[in-house]
């Protein structure tokens, strides 16, 4: 007992025998293979529903397939040359940039402002966050229908207000410029909750000691925001901008419900024009070429943004 308390007792010889080294060598490859099986379903789904359609679409873009018959001929880059001369496609491409960039800018400004306001301790902030995020869960078709009913010429709520104030009814969705602005606003308001959540997560990851130290140095709230909050939110900026830009460039549902791409082709995006070209004009090859161009635009925009934002984050 004395030897045990003083720690001088000799350790009893261990009865466990270490496994043969060959056994360890046999188990390691098995463990690695088991881990690989965990992500195999995701790889299969990605290949089936993303990679294969992409490759098939690229192949179809070099044909004159109408989308329904079994006959198709290879036409080379004819569809891509046709895109360059297509005035409707150029209009849709310009609108796509307006939808993507406009929605992204509005969502960043509103999302950051709302996140800063709701990051403070105040009564009802959880309910306010839920209400602002709620439209994200609503289908864009339903959202577009709701706003169409508000902006429609007859029996629209906004026109009823205008008439009630003594004015004349306004054809909100019959003018190209007004329609594009309304579509950008509707898309921005629906998905501003995503930016809010991303910026809230970024704000709550900033240590409070930075603000306390700057307060002791006499920094104002505006100086704290510009020199502490904004630089430390660079990762949140990168994530929010890229996600919102991709969503804006692919905008389809709201346009289809509110204007159908009209008047004429004035509010078409590349996404809505792809559907119209495929189903109405029965030109699957040409619409596939549009889809490939849209895919390349999104890839290039994403790469440029990621490069610029990562460089800025390293400099901050």
Give mean pLDDT, residues 249-268: 90
What pTM, to 2 d.p., does this model score? Answer: 0.81
Give mean pLDDT, residues 204-227: 90
Q: Which range, of 22-26, 34-38, 39-43, 179-183, averages the lowest pLDDT?
A: 22-26
The helix (run of H) or strand (run of E) holding residue 47 is none
For residue 20, what pLDDT is reported? 52
The answer to whether residue 40 scores a pLDDT higher than 90 is no
The answer to whether residue 10 scores a pLDDT higher than 80 is no
For 69, counting Cβ atoms within 10 Å of its Cβ (0-12 exposed, 13-18 middle, 19+ buried), the class is: exposed
Please state, rounded to an integer, the average pLDDT across all residues of the chain. 86
Which class would CATH give 54-315? mainly alpha
Domain spans of the chain, in order of start:
54-315
Where does 152-175 have alpha helices with state H? Answer: 157-164
For residue 3, what pLDDT is reported? 44
Percent of the chain clearing pLDDT 90 (strictly above): 54
**The two structure tokens encoding residue 120:** 């403070």
Give mean pLDDT, residues 226-252: 89
Could you read off the pLDDT of 67-86 as tens digits, one per residue? 888 888 899 999 999 999 99
For 110-127, b/e burial (b = at least 16 CB within 10 A) is bbbebbbebbeeeeeeee
């Amino acid at each position: 007992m004395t030897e045990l308390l003083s720690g001088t007792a000799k350790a009893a010889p261990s009865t466990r025998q270490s496994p043969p080294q060959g056994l360890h060598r046999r188990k390691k490859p098995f463990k690695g293979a088991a881990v690989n099986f965990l992500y195999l379903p995701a790889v299969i789904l990605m290949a089936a529903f993303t990679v294969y359609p992409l490759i098939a679409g690229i192949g179809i873009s070099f044909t004159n397939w109408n989308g329904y018959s079994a006959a198709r001929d290879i036409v080379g880059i004819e569809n891509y040359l046709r895109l360059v001369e297509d005035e409707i496609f150029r209009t849709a491409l310009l609108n796509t940039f307006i939808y993507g960039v406009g929605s992204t800018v509005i969502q960043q400004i509103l999302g950051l402002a709302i996140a800063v306001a709701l990051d403070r301790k105040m009564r009802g902030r959880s309910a306010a966050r839920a209400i602002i995020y709620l439209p994200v869960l609503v289908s864009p078709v339903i959202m577009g229908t709701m706003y169409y009913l508000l902006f429609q010429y007859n029996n629209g709520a906004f026109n009823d207000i205008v008439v009630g104030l003594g004015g004349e009814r306004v054809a909100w969705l019959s003018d190209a410029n007004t329609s594009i602005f309304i579509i950008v606003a509707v898309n921005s308001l629906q998905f501003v909750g995503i930016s809010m959540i991303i910026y809230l997560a970024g704000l709550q990851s900033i240590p409070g000691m930075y603000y306390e130290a700057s307060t002791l140095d006499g920094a104002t709230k505006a100086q704290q925001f510009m020199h502490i909050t904004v630089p430390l939110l660079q990762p949140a900026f990168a994530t929010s901008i890229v996600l919102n830009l991709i969503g804006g460039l692919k905008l389809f549902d709201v346009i289809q419900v509110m204007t159908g791409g009209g008047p004429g082709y004035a509010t078409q995006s590349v996404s809505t024009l792809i559907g119209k070209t495929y189903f109405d004009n029965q030109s699957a090859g040409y619409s596939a070429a549009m889809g490939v161009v849209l895919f390349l635009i999104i890839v290039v925009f994403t790469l440029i943004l990621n490069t610029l934002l990562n460089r800025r984050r390293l400099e901050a």
